[in-house]
Amino acid sequence: MKNEFEWIRSIAPSKHRRASVIKGIGDDAAVIRPKVGYDIVLAVDTLVEGVHFTKNTMPLKAIGYKALAVNVSDLAAMGAEPLYYMVSIAVPKENWEQEEINEIYEGMGEAGEEYDMDLIGGDTISTSRDLVITVQVTGRVEEYRQLLRSDAETNDIVFLTGPVGMSAAGLDELLEKGKDAWGDDPFIQAHQWPIAHVEHGRFFAESGERIALNDVSDGVAHEAKEIAESSGVDLHLDWEKMPRLDLFQHVPLTKQRKWLLHGGEDFSLLGTMRASLFQQMKKQLQKKGLSLYQIGEVRPGRGNVWLKHEGTEKLLYDGGYTHF
Ligand SMILES: Nc1ncnc2c1ncn2[C@@H]1O[C@H](COP(=O)(O)OP(=O)(O)O)[C@@H](O)[C@H]1O
Ligand SMILES: Cc1ncc(C[n+]2csc(CCOP(=O)(O)OP(=O)(O)O)c2C)c(N)n1
Ligand SMILES: [Mg+2]
Ligand SMILES: [Mg+2]
Ligand SMILES: [Mg+2]
């Protein structure tokens, strides 16, 4: 067992991918040199044992991988390029071994490699119970190109960059069967190894177009409501247009609705863009092997979300995951 400081040295990267890191781990704070012409984008998200994961729902490596990926997803939703991350980890005195924490860091390192980011610092503390991992990420976006949820306008179309509901479906299976559910099943994979849609975010930002964007961490209904409210418009969604995998075909409708609309943790991006842009953007994205689905449109309103389903349009209950 290493002591705290030996352990920190053992997880510190020996070199950085980004030349802009002036000082990483090993002083009172990290120092980075921002690139001229870019705005800095910052986000922080925490994963808590029992709330976001348990040892039965997530492999240790996946906990680390997901802790970084969910943060990168917020950078993607701003159109930013991920650059650096910091980690604060509160380790319970019982039930967690150093070897297990190392595995979490291995998973985080894998995500760091995937998104080309440097670990530049953090904090290590003990706690009485339940592991808590907080990751702070820094990214950059070309000046004034950030993609805000307040930018939706009447006559825009509403889009999703990928399927939703898979992570929630996986979680239900994991809560029921525990480790017996682990494996290649796409729902389980979606829950344990989420993918942040950075390429989509960057493509939208680089286009220079006005695009409103949110990542789907708390469910489509909730994220759509956030866009509608902050843009002062109404979003009209169409159930039939939601990207739905064949895998959902035999699932009862109430469950489909719960997973697809209120599930969350999918980390697809939900957004709006000018209607005339949609086909060309879809084609360009397809060339990169990326998808884009139109699921509705934006109309004048006061921040409400409507869902057309089985011929009638109703106000969509905006319930998603809430911590209080
Ligand atoms: N405890 C807090 N203190 C300060 N700002 C917060 C706190 N919690 C959330 N925020 C801010 O509120 C906004 C929404 O947060 P959140 O719903 O967690 O976003 P997301 O779902 O994209 O992670 C963000 O700007 C976030 O930085
Ligand atoms: C053991 C367990 N129970 C429940 C969930 C489901 N869950 C936990 S947090 C959450 C929403 C997303 O997390 P949050 O902390 O709200 O992230 P943010 O919206 O800030 O990105 C969901 C769907 C889970 N992942 N694991
Ligand atoms: Mg958050
Ligand atoms: Mg978000
Ligand atoms: Mg949330």
- Write the ipTM: 0.95
Is residue 263 included in any domain, yes or no?
yes
Residues 240, 108 within the same domain: no
User: Which atom of ligand 1 is nearest to 44's Cα?
Assistant: 27
Burial status of residue 250 (CB atoms within 10 A of its CB: 0-12, 13-18, 19 or more): exposed
Residues 170, 92 within the same domain: no
Among 42, 45, 51, residue to substitute to test ligand 1 (most atoms within 8 Å of Cβ): 45
Q: Which helix (H) or strand (E) holds 121?
A: strand 118-127
For residue 149, how far is its CA from the centre of ligand 1 (angstroms)?
Answer: 13
Give pLDDT tens digits for 74-118.
999 999 999 999 999 999 999 999 999 999 999 999 999 999 999
User: Which atom of ligand 1 is nearest to 223's Cα?
Assistant: 21
User: Which atom of ligand 2 is nearest to 57's Cα?
Assistant: 1
180 annotated ligand-binding residue: no
84 annotated ligand-binding residue: no
Ligand 2 neighbourhood includes 151 CB (under 6 angstroms): no
pLDDT score of 247: 86
Give pLDDT tens digits for 107-137.
999 999 999 999 999 999 999 999 999 999 9
**CATH value at residue 73:** 3.30.1330.10
Residues 29, 56 within the same domain: yes
Domain boundary among 85, 110, 142: 142
Instruction: Look at residue 245 and tell me whether its pLDDT is greater than 90.
Output: no
Instruction: Report how many domains make up the chain.
Output: 2
Give pLDDT tens digits for 196-242.
999 999 999 999 999 999 999 999 999 999 999 999 999 999 999 99
Residues 124, 157 within the same domain: no
Average pLDDT along the chain: 97
Instruction: Look at residue 162 and tell me whether its pLDDT is greater than 90.
Output: yes
Domain boundaries, position 199: 149-315
Residues 234, 124 within the same domain: no
Domain boundary among 142, 170, 204: 142
Ligand 2 neighbourhood includes 57 CB (under 6 angstroms): yes
Q: Ligand 2 atom 24: the closest Cα is on which residue?
A: 52
Residues 123, 185 within the same domain: no
Residues 157, 283 within the same domain: yes
Residues 134, 156 within the same domain: no
Q: Round to whole Å and give the CA distance between 265 and 223.
A: 11
Q: Ligand 1 atom 4: the closest Cα is on which residue?
A: 44
Percent of all residues in the chain with a pLDDT value above 70, rounded to a whole number = 100
Is residue 60 included in any domain, yes or no?
yes
Residues 25, 78 within the same domain: yes
**Where does the pLDDT of residue 319 fall: very low under 50, low under 70, confident under 90, or very high at 90 and above?**
confident
Q: Which residues of 27-59 are buried (b: 16+ CB within 10 A; e: fewer)?
A: eeebebeeeeebeebebebbbebeebbeeebbb
- Alpha carbon of residue 164 to chain centroid: 12
Q: Ligand 2 atom 17: the closest Cα is on which residue?
A: 217
pLDDT score of 318: 85
Residues 112, 162 within the same domain: no
Ligand 1 neighbourhood includes 45 CB (under 6 angstroms): yes
pLDDT score of 320: 81
Work out the average pLDDT over 137-150: 98
**CATH value at residue 261:** 3.90.650.10
Residues 137, 178 within the same domain: no
Indicate the pairing of strand 305-309 with strand 233-238: parallel
For residue 45, how far is its CA from the centre of ligand 1 (angstroms)?
Answer: 8
User: Which atom of ligand 2 is nearest to 70's Cα?
Assistant: 21
What letter does residue 81 receive in the DSSP assignment? E
Residues 71, 111 within the same domain: yes
Work out the average pLDDT over 286-312: 98
